[in-house]
Amino acid sequence: MIFWLKDMGEFRDVVVSSRIRLARNLDNYRFPIRIGTDEARQVYDDVIRSLDKNKYLSFKMKDIPVIERNMLVEKHIISPALLHTPNISGFAMNEQEDETIMINEEDHIRIQVLDSGLALKKAWKKADEIDNQLGNSLRYAYDEKIGYLTSCPTNLGTGLRVSVMLHLPAMEMTKEINKVLTTITQFGLAVRGVYGEGTKALGSLYQISNQSTLGDSEETIIKKIDHLTRQIAEKERITRKNIFEKSAVSFEDKIFRAYGILKNTRIISTDEAVRLISFLKLGIASGLITDNNINDMDKLFIEIQPASLQYISRKEMNDMERDIKRAEIIRNKIN
């Protein structure tokens, strides 16, 4: 289950999810890049002790099987960077899996809150509450002039990374996406793939986030990205409407071809599957497909990723076995 995708949220036809992430370090320990094993274990213990044990479950990465670690990345519960040092890293999460506190990643603490649709203010409120809870019992590395001190200079200041995941198939189809992405970077924002820095866009999904955390307040950063996201979402909606009005038969053909293949496929790769699911989502948002919903398609996108497939099957699988299992899961979900 991907619990944080259960709600629709604002602009849900375009905005898949909102994420707030805060980077923090403890004043009395060396930063993770220089930290020793014993120190890192103490950091982990200090953070876990500061959390509400009735709300959060805690895990050490070294105790989690490799397939399950990668599945957690595919579900966006933890970051890929947390896998780099499994002997010292860990995390805590709530039952709904929308709040995660990563420990000994690039920084001592990475607070993450996820929500479906455009819900940055709501996610920020939760993240701020977690931050205050931890800050009441832990001493953060903080400078009066600079703000919060972090391992990477791009996170100095607020330590806040705000991001939204957008589904932009219409702008891809009309080639308008390059113009939009160029405009985004001119606003000082970064465009990344599905799993963050260094990853590519899959299924017409783009992650937009702030590049700088120094100089602006948390509220200013959130307001800026919220405003720009609304503009992009409206542009995508208009583009979808224009395509449908000008090329209705061609538009419908792409949707129903994707629908037909997904309903009947017996073997399918990840790349083909996410491309066709993207078209199916477009058909659902446009009202052409009525027996599936967007939330289920976004959950399906995660469930058919390699590690998630193997986790569901409780065994390691080769490429062909995964392609067959992926097709089976898709057929069951679509039908």
Domains, the chain, in order of start with CATH, read 3-216 (3.30.590.10), 247-334 (no CATH)
Q: Is the pLDDT of residue 7 over 70?
A: no
Residue 61 · residue 86 · CB < 8 Å? yes
Q: Is the pLDDT of residue 197 over 60?
A: no
Q: Is the pLDDT of residue 193 over 90?
A: no
Residue type, 289: I
Residue type, 322: R
Would you put residue 204 in left (φ > 0), alpha (ψ -120 to 50) or beta? left
To which residue do tokens 């920020």 refer? Answer: 124
Q: Is the pLDDT of residue 255 over 90?
A: yes
Please name the residues in contact with 248: beta carbons below 8 A apart, sequence gap of 6 or more. Answer: none
95-122 pLDDT tens trace: 999 999 999 999 999 999 999 999 999 9
Confidence of residue 322 (pLDDT cuts 50, 70, 90): very high
For residue 216, the model assigns a pLDDT of 87
Residues in the chain: 335
How much is the pTM?
0.93
174-188 pLDDT tens trace: 999 989 888 888 888
For residue 235, the model assigns a pLDDT of 96
145-154 pLDDT tens trace: 999 999 998 8
